[in-house]
Amino acid sequence: MAERLNPRLTELVESGRIVKFSRAPTLVAKELRAAQRDLEEAHSSLHRESFKWCTIQAYYSMFHSGRALLYAAGYREKSHAALAIALECLYTEEGKLRKRITDGLVFGKELRENADYREDFSAEGAQALVRSAEEMLDAARALVSPGE
């Protein structure tokens, strides 16, 4: 029997924003390591009060955690926005991932873009994003690498 996809995920696949990716499961651990490294760098930047870079690094930690989850499901994203929607379809709507985590990824993308493109960032935003990145990495590890 063919896998029945969530209609929003089907739309992403049909539009090419999310694609099946046969090697994806072999890359999950690499993405989790990248998420951990970016989170460590975000902590370091936060400690140095480099809030712009902290914001960017914390978001990319979240991105790599999300990508690990997407890879575990056998897909690859073609856009950051599509990643968040796919995670909602595959994990949040299935009760496997808290909605605040996928909402945090969307908000984190906005904070990262503001910091990167508009020089608009803050200590509070950076701190909140680090907390969100920690929560997302913990959740991703629990879902895709329960033995680690």
- Looking at the structure of the chain, the number of domains it has is 1
Domain with 38, as residue range(s), is 8-139
Does 1 map to a domain? no
Does the residue 146 lie in any domain?
no
CB-based contact 1:55 (threshold 8 Å): no
CATH, residue 103:
1.20.120.330
Q: How far is CA 123 from the centre of its chain?
A: 21
Does residue 147 sit within a domain?
no
Residue 47 lies in a domain: yes
The verdict on residue 3 lying in a domain is no
pLDDT for the residue 1:
36
Cβ neighbours of residue 67 closer than 8 Å, sequence gap 6 or more? 31, 76, 77, 83
Residue 85 lies in a domain: yes
Instruction: Examine residue 131 and state whether it is found in any structural domain, yes or no.
Output: yes
**pTM to 2 decimals?**
0.93
Reading the chain (148 residues) residue by residue, the pLDDT tens digits are: 345 778 999 999 999 999 999 999 999 999 999 999 999 999 999 999 999 999 999 999 999 999 999 999 999 999 999 999 999 999 999 999 999 999 999 999 999 999 999 999 999 999 999 999 999 999 999 999 754 4
Q: Please, what is the end-to-end C-alpha distance for the chain in angstroms?
A: 33
For position 5, what pLDDT does the model report? Answer: 73
pLDDT score for 147: 47
pLDDT for position 146: 52
Residue 145 counted as domain residue: no
Would you say the C-alpha torsion 117, 86, 17, 30 has a positive or negative sign?
Answer: positive
